[in-house]
Each structure stands twice: as structure tokens, then as C-alpha cells.
């Protein structure tokens, strides 16, 4: 009874036994997940959701274990359950977007990131993910806009600069890509600066006159 009363203090409402046991399985799942024991963690989160079907956090974590296990359809369903319970759940929108992204459904991924941004308009990670989704469907102008918004929110986050450089490379704009490389160096983000420079050097070698430009290598090769 003492443990139950302590938990009730933090949760802020009286818990029945099933809800209490649900949170116990959830906490065990968190610990197992942190140790990389994903199958065991999945089992605990699944027990938590069965004991308390309205436990949004448990559905979220269940989805994340499925996502990390590569079971995308099940991850998507778990995230949808989390959003059914809590429609403003930003992390669930973001993770559902990632699941759609990995399944190749970039349009649905865009929708999830856009909804998440409505609830958390200054989340840099969301704008970076949004930019990646636009990049994947070839909408470079919107990708650039998303990355630039990320740099406005957090000027010292080099990830958006790096991805901006990759977009400029796909647009065959070496000058703009080099500008992002220089900015990364100025920010002291040497690792990303080096990665971007490698991509620039791979993608912008000079072609002899008359050479078919389709032979030009891409950053994803």
C-alpha cells in the first residue's frame, strides 16, 4: 500500500491495481530499453498497455521499441494509439513521422511533422525532420525553408547547416554548399564540416567537355 500511495502522489489521481501494475511494467520496460534489450522491453510495454489501455506513454514507448526493431507497421499502430489518447502528443507525432519516413511514406511523414510543429513551433528537431521529408520527395525549396527555420531557432545547431549543404549539392550549387561548410567551421562543428566537405569533393569533380552529366556521382552512392 505504501508504494501505491507514493505513486499516487506523483500521478495525481487514485490508481486501481491494474493501473499500478501497468506503471510497474512501464518502468521495467524503460530500464530494459535503456540496456538495449528491446524484445524484453517490448513485452513489458505491451503488458502495460493491456493493463491500462489509456496509458499514452506506454503506447509511445511500445511504438519506439517496434520502430527500433524494424517492425514499422506495429510501430505506426502504437503511435496512433498514443495520439488517440493524447491528440497533442508532440513526441508521438514526431515518432510516427519517423516510422512513415522509414517505410517510404514521405507524404504522411510530412503531415505528422507539420502537426507536431503546430504544438511545438520552436522544436529544431521537428524542422530538421520536416526538411528531410521534403528532401526525400524532391521539394528542395521547402526543405531549404525548413532547415533555415531550424537555423533561426538555434543558430549553433550544425545539423541544419549540414543538410542545407546537401540540398545545395543536389541543386548543383557548390558555392552555397561551401558557404555552409565555412559556417560549420566557424561554429566549431568540425565533424559535420568534414563530412560536408567530403560530399562536396565527391560530387563536384570537373567533367571533361561533352561528358554526359548523368554520370555525375551522387552523395548517396
Tell me: do 127 and 220 sit in the same domain. yes
Looking at 75, 92, 109, the residue that finishes a domain is 92
Query: What does the alpha-carbon distance between residue 123 and residue 203 come to, in Å, rounded to a whole number?
Result: 31
At 203, is the pLDDT very low, low, confident or very high (cuts 50, 70, 90)?
confident
- Residue 33 neighbours by CB under 8 Å, 6+ apart: 41, 61, 64, 65
Give the pLDDT confidence score for residue 12 in this predicted structure: 47
For the chain, give the percent of residues with pLDDT over 90.
82
For cell 562543428, name the residue: 189
Burial of 42 (C-beta count, 10 Å sphere; 0-12/13-18/19+): buried
Report whether pLDDT(78) > 90: yes
CA angle 212, 218, 221 (to 5 degrees): 120
> Does 204 share its domain with 162?
yes
Cα 136 from chain centroid (whole Å): 14
22 found inside a domain: yes
Structurally, the chain folds into a number of domains equal to 2
What distance in Å separates the CA atoms of residue 26 and residue 57, rounded to the nearest whole number? 8
pLDDT in tens, 31-75: 999 999 999 999 999 999 999 999 999 999 999 999 999 999 999
93-118 mean pLDDT: 96
Residue 99 has which C-alpha cell?
516510422
Let me know whether 126 and 53 are in one domain: no
Plot region of 30 (φ>0 → left; ψ -120 to 50 → alpha; else → beta)? alpha
Asked whether residue 88 falls in the same domain as residue 130, the answer is: no
Residues 70 and 138 in one domain: no
Alpha-carbon distance of 37 to 144, in angstroms, equals 38
Phi, psi of 127 (to 5 degrees): -70, -35
All three cell numbers of 45, joined, read 510495454
Spell out the residues 6+ positions from residue 175 whose beta carbon is closer than 8 angstroms to its own.
none
Same domain, 21 and 65: yes
Confidence label for 13 from pLDDT (cuts 50, 70 and 90): very low
111 dihedral zone (left: phi>0; alpha: psi -120 to 50; beta): alpha
* Furthest C-alpha separation in the chain: 82
Nearest CA to 86 out of 131, 112, 123, 54 is that of 54
Write down the pLDDT at residue 179: 96
At residue 2 the predicted structure's pLDDT band, cuts being 50, 70 and 90, is very low
User: Does residue 173 surpass a pLDDT of 90?
Assistant: yes
Instruction: Quote the pLDDT of residue 18.
Output: 84
Would you place residue 19 in the very low, low, confident or very high pLDDT band (cuts 50, 70, 90)?
A: confident
pLDDT digits (tens, 9 = 90+) for 110-157: 999 999 999 999 999 999 999 999 999 999 999 999 999 999 999 999
Same domain, 65 and 132: no
What number of other Cβ atoms are within 10 A of residue 168's Cβ? Answer: 22
CA angle 210, 174, 107 (to 5 degrees): 100
The yes-or-no verdict on residue 215 having pLDDT over 50 is no
The verdict on residue 107 lying in a domain is no
Note down the domain range covering 72: 1-92
pTM above 0.75, yes or no: yes
pLDDT of 118: 95
Q: Binning pLDDT at 50, 70 and 90, where does residue 5 land?
A: low
Q: Residue 106: pLDDT above 70?
A: yes
User: What does the mean pLDDT of the chain come to?
Assistant: 88
Amino acid at each position: 500500500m505504501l508504494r501505491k500511495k507514493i505513486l499516487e502522489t506523483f500521478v495525481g489521481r487514485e490508481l486501481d491495481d491494474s493501473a499500478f501494475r501497468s506503471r510497474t511494467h512501464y518502468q521495467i520496460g524503460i530500464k530494459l530499453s535503456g540496456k538495449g534489450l528491446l524484445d524484453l522491453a517490448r513485452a513489458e510495454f505491451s503488458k502495460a498497455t493491456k493493463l491500462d489501455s489509456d496509458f499514452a506513454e506506454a503506447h509511445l514507448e511500445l511504438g519506439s521499441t517496434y520502430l527500433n526493431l524494424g517492425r514499422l507497421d506495429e510501430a505506426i499502430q502504437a503511435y496512433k494509439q498514443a495520439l488517440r489518447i493524447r491528440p497533442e502528443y508532440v513526441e508521438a507525432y514526431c515518432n510516427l513521422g519517423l516510422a512513415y519516413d522509414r517505410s517510404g511514406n514521405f507524404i504522411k511523414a510530412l503531415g505528422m511533422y507539420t502537426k507536431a510543429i503546430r504544438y511545438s513551433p520552436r522544436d529544431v528537431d521537428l524542422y530538421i525532420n520536416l526538411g528531410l521529408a521534403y528532401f526525400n520527395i524532391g521539394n528542395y525549396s521547402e526543405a531549404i525553408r525548413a532547415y533555415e527555420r531550424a537555423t533561426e531557432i538555434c543558430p549553433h545547431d550544425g545539423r541544419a547547416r549540414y543538410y542545407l549543404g546537401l540540398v545545395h549539392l543536389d541543386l548543383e550549387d557548390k558555392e552555397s554548399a561551401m558557404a555552409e561548410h565555412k559556417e560549420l567551421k566557424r561554429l566549431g562543428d568540425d565533424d559535420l564540416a568534414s563530412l560536408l566537405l567530403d560530399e562536396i569533393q565527391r560530387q563536384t569533380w570537373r567533367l571533361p567537355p561533352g561528358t554526359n552529366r548523368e554520370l555525375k556521382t551522387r552523395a548517396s552512392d
